[in-house]
Amino acid sequence: MKKHLTVALALLAVLGLGAGLLPRPALANGAASTRNILLGIGAATYLIIQHNRVVHQREAAAAAQQAAIAQQRNDAWAAYRAAERSAHQEALANAELHKELAFEKSVVSQQQRQLAALHVGANFTHVVATSGSRGNPQVVASDGLGWGTL
């Protein structure tokens, strides 16, 4: 019995509350209707503008990211080209150094052949000028590796 009473009270409460929520005929107030329509249009316009702003911000961020990636790619290519030019210049400089070294080696071998033709040893003194008596020469000037005699 207590169950039936609880169910009946709940049903009455729902019906009582529902009676206030039942649809009623609308009052025909032209000014309020126009105002509500204009407020609705304004709210819809505001929401559309905000949505477009967010979309444009996202597109701008994506474009900035793509530009940054393109800049990094261009910087990488520029660095690669600079390294390539540097390697080419270094190769040219090395070739010039090899030519110079080969020339110096040929000069040294020519001088060694000339020394060999003179039949002198490692500690030689090439006398340029002497003074003194015939039996006791005194070297005044010399060139070479030896100290000479005074």
Q: How far apart are CA 129 and CA 150, in angstroms?
A: 12
- pTM of this structure: 0.38
Comparing CA positions, the residue from 117, 130, 129, 125 lying closest to residue 148 is 125
User: What are the backbone angles phi and psi of residue 109, rounded to the nearest 5°?
Assistant: -65, -35
**Predicted confidence pLDDT, tens digits, the chain (150 residues):** 677 778 777 776 766 665 566 666 666 677 788 889 999 999 999 999 999 999 999 999 999 999 999 999 999 889 999 999 999 999 999 999 999 999 999 999 998 888 888 765 555 555 555 555 565 656 555 555 555 455
* Residue 110 belongs to a domain: yes
Q: How far apart are CA 2 and CA 15, in angstroms?
A: 20
Q: Count how many domains the chain has.
A: 1
* Residue 101 belongs to a domain: yes
* Residue 129 belongs to a domain: no
* Residue 84 belongs to a domain: yes
Residue located via tokens 């006398």: 127
* Residue 7 belongs to a domain: no
Which domain range does residue 76 map to?
41-115
Q: How far apart are CA 95 and CA 29, in angstroms?
A: 98
